[in-house]
Structure 1
Amino acid sequence: MSTHTMGAVRLHEHGGPEVLCYDEVPIPRPGPGEALVRVHAIGINPPDWYLRGGMTTMPGEEESTVSLPLIPGTDVSGVVEAVAADVAGLSVGDEVFGLLRFPSFHGSAYAEYVAAPASDLARKPAGIDHVHAAGAPMAGLTAWQFLIEVGHDHPSPFQEAPHRPVSLDAGTTVLVNGAAGGVGHFALQLAKWRGARVIAVASGAHESFLRELGADQFIDYTKHRAEELVRDVDVVVDTVGGPESRRFLHTLKRGGAQFAVMPGVFDEEETAKLGVTVSTAQVRSSGVQLAALGRLLDAGAVRVAIDSTFALSDARAAHERAARGHVQGKIVLTVD
């Protein structure tokens, strides 16, 4: 490969994991407000396989801006190779991580180099490696913006009212459904960081993992239904969604809230009768918030769990792993 080209995974068509092609392409040049990052690791996320499967319009977009071939991906950790003249605060050699250009399908992260908006980047925590840093951005910021601080005033494509996190402290109980996954394991840890009592719902194989992260109570959904065991919860964070998500409303106390990370099915009359609310948000890139999360990662207050790693050129296998489900933490691509 020449000094002007790089390896990158591209989509030339939509379909299953087999459509992910490892190509040789030109190294991008950073535009205004951007830094060129030499990528060491890439976190994979649901929007990556939504795009691969044929979704080309983000919620809130009126029309698609996707054209093939396209490099997918948003989450990176790497080293700054160059910066645009108008970028302050970043220098060549800085180790950084970020969620790039989200919400959009133009992150272009599945590559050896990426031109990244400097505002989407934060310094990589010195205490963790690139693999763990790459697993943090989208999942960590999703949990942060649902539970801690939205951090922006962009209208939501999912609801008219702005999403508002609730105050978390020692008197608060939070139930996390899908607690072992990317967003779930961050939500559990952030709630614990704020002092809340946390009930984790996942399959039994994840119990010891989730208790190590701080779960005060564990429910194996293959054996028990949470709504039959739990009452008077303040917040439900549902990272699974689907037609059965409304059942978690019955675990809430009056005045409680269910935060729907993934789309669910709800009945307005039912929520009104129960005296609870349902709210959701759309995660957005934020170098400032990622820096705050990075400080927690550096201090060991929050950690990133890695389910598995694959070489960038083996992105197909990484997507196949994701499709099998029961992921514990994050799946990450690595670059030599």
Structure 2
Amino acid sequence: MTDQTPDQTVADQHQPLVPNRTVWIDHFGDLDVIALSERPVPQAVDDEVLVRVAAASINPVDWKTAAGEFPPKGADQLPFALGRDLSGRIEALGTRAHNMRSVGDRVIAFIGQDRGAQADYVVVKAVELVATPEQIDDATAAALPLAAMTAWQGLFDHGKLEAGQRVLIHGAAGGVGHLAVQFAVWKGATVFATASGRDLDYVRSLGVERAIDYKNERFEDHATDLDLVYDTQGGETQARSFTLLKKGGTMVSTLGPDEERGRELGIRTVPRWHAEPNGAQLAQVAELVAAGTVKVAVDRTFAFDQVREAYAYTHDEHPRGKVVLSMQGE
């Protein structure tokens, strides 16, 4: 987002003269640093659009960022807004956005870290957004982008998962995990998945070969001869998973793999990576959701003024699927 010059005026002036509530932090710390702050409504320039946000989701990366535990955001960038994914309607268009979108269009977006999606109004770049299929409501749409791109890119871009392969997915009932399971099943892989006992029936309903209670079962007894492990847990869980992979198999971890261990065992490891906005991939996922092939689990929806309670719930309760903030009380 840049300052406007005379030739970058917003083409359609639909911006309301109201405060823009934004989840804002001015220092790192526990969840009590998270608060709503009234910020100016931003303006869209060039190929950007201004979106009136209907809903935004909370991801673990949000509270890790607030705690100063997510390196891409450092103290030199404070203060800043939180949130990476949203759904809403286009409120105004930059001068070069007219041939792509229209005011009033429903959209989904996974935005860069230079802005915060948990706000009433957010500027979105054209490459970050896709149209919201009419079959998808705002809360479901908002729950999708970051988790879906993390799952999709981890499995397919980094993990190179193919039909007929065998994959173990840890944390299968979580925001990323439940989507990763469904993408792998859709691809035609044989899927083994770990979850807590209370979530086993849910994970089974997603089409896995075997749902494993990680507290009361050894996943090593059920998932062997694997082509890929998709790890969202790290630590001992990741260490034990290496031995289940075939030689030449792949360890993909959202927390970063033990590369030395991988070399010892002849396992391919993917250096730590972060999901990136990708409109084409997000559009494909949205189509799968619209068709009913993939179902997005929204554990709870909180009103925007309950943001701190929503963060606490996401942090403490291990929700099934995603937690969503509703900006417009819908």
Q: Same fold (TM over 0.5)?
A: yes
Deviation at 1:245, TM superposition (A): 1.2
**Match of 2:274, as an amino acid?**
Q
Determine which of 74, 80, 104 is the counterpart of 1:93: 104
Deviation at 1:220, TM superposition (A): 0.3
Determine which of 207, 231, 236 is the counterpart of 2:229: 236
User: Relative to structure 1, is the Cα distance of residues 57 and 175 closer, same or farther in structure 2, using a 3 angstrom cutoff?
Assistant: closer
User: Relative to structure 1, is the Cα distance of residues 94 and 329 closer, same or farther in structure 2, using a 3 angstrom cutoff?
Assistant: same
Q: Give the TM-score taking structure 1 as reference length.
A: 0.87
**Match of 2:132, as an amino acid?**
K
Deviations 1:140-159 (CA, angstroms, capped at 9, x unpaired): 011111122x3xxxxxxxxx
Matching of residue 324 in structure 1 with residue 316 in structure 2: yes
Deviation at 1:135, TM superposition (A): 0.5
Aligned to 1:21: 35
**Match of 1:132, as an amino acid?**
T
Aligned to 1:155: none
Determine which of 232, 250, 253 is the counterpart of 2:246: 253
What root-mean-square deviation, in Å, do the aligned CA atoms of Structure 1 and Structure 2 show? 1.8
Find the residue that maps to 1:247 and give its secondary structure.
helix
Aligned to 1:30: 44
Deviations 1:182-223 (CA, angstroms, capped at 9, x unpaired): 111111000001111111101111111111111220110100
Aligned to 1:79: 89
Deviation at 1:305, TM superposition (A): 0.5
Distance 2:43 2:146 in 1: 24
Deviation at 1:230, TM superposition (A): 2.5
Matching of residue 225 in structure 1 with residue 225 in structure 2: no
Deviations 1:277-311 (CA, angstroms, capped at 9, x unpaired): 22243211111211111111111111110111111
**Match of 2:104, as an amino acid?**
G
Deviation at 1:56, TM superposition (A): 6.6
**Match of 2:100, as an amino acid?**
G
Aligned to 2:7: none
Find the residue that maps to 1:320 and give its secondary structure.
helix
Is residue 237–residue 258 contact of structure 1 (8 Å, CA) maintained in 2? yes
Moved more, 222-231 or 282-291: 222-231
Is residue 78–residue 96 contact of structure 1 (8 Å, CA) maintained in 2? yes
Aligned to 2:159: 165
- For structure 2, the 5+ residue unaligned runs are 1-15
Matching of residue 133 in structure 1 with residue 141 in structure 2: yes
Aligned to 2:296: 304
Distance 2:290 2:76 in 1: 37
Distance 1:107 1:290 in 2: 19
Is residue 57–residue 64 contact of structure 1 (8 Å, CA) maintained in 2? no
Deviations 1:164-189 (CA, angstroms, capped at 9, x unpaired): 432421x2111101111111111100
Is residue 56–residue 64 contact of structure 1 (8 Å, CA) maintained in 2? no
Deviation at 1:267, TM superposition (A): 5.8
Q: Give the TM-score taking structure 2 as reference length.
A: 0.89
Matching of residue 215 in structure 1 with residue 208 in structure 2: yes
User: Relative to structure 1, is the Cα distance of residues 227 and 34 closer, same or farther in structure 2, using a 3 angstrom cutoff?
Assistant: same
Moved more, 318-327 or 35-44: 318-327
- For structure 1, the 5+ residue unaligned runs are 151-163
Is residue 48–residue 124 contact of structure 2 (8 Å, CA) maintained in 1? yes
Aligned to 2:270: 279
Distance 2:161 2:120 in 1: 41
Matching of residue 197 in structure 1 with residue 190 in structure 2: yes
Determine which of 62, 81, 84 is the counterpart of 1:48: 62
Is residue 17–residue 317 contact of structure 1 (8 Å, CA) maintained in 2? no
Deviation at 1:55, TM superposition (A): 4.0
**Match of 2:295, as an amino acid?**
R
Deviations 1:218-264 (CA, angstroms, capped at 9, x unpaired): 11010012124321011110011134412101111222111112234
**Match of 1:301, as an amino acid?**
T
Percent identity, aligned pairs only?
36
Moved more, 177-186 or 227-236: 227-236
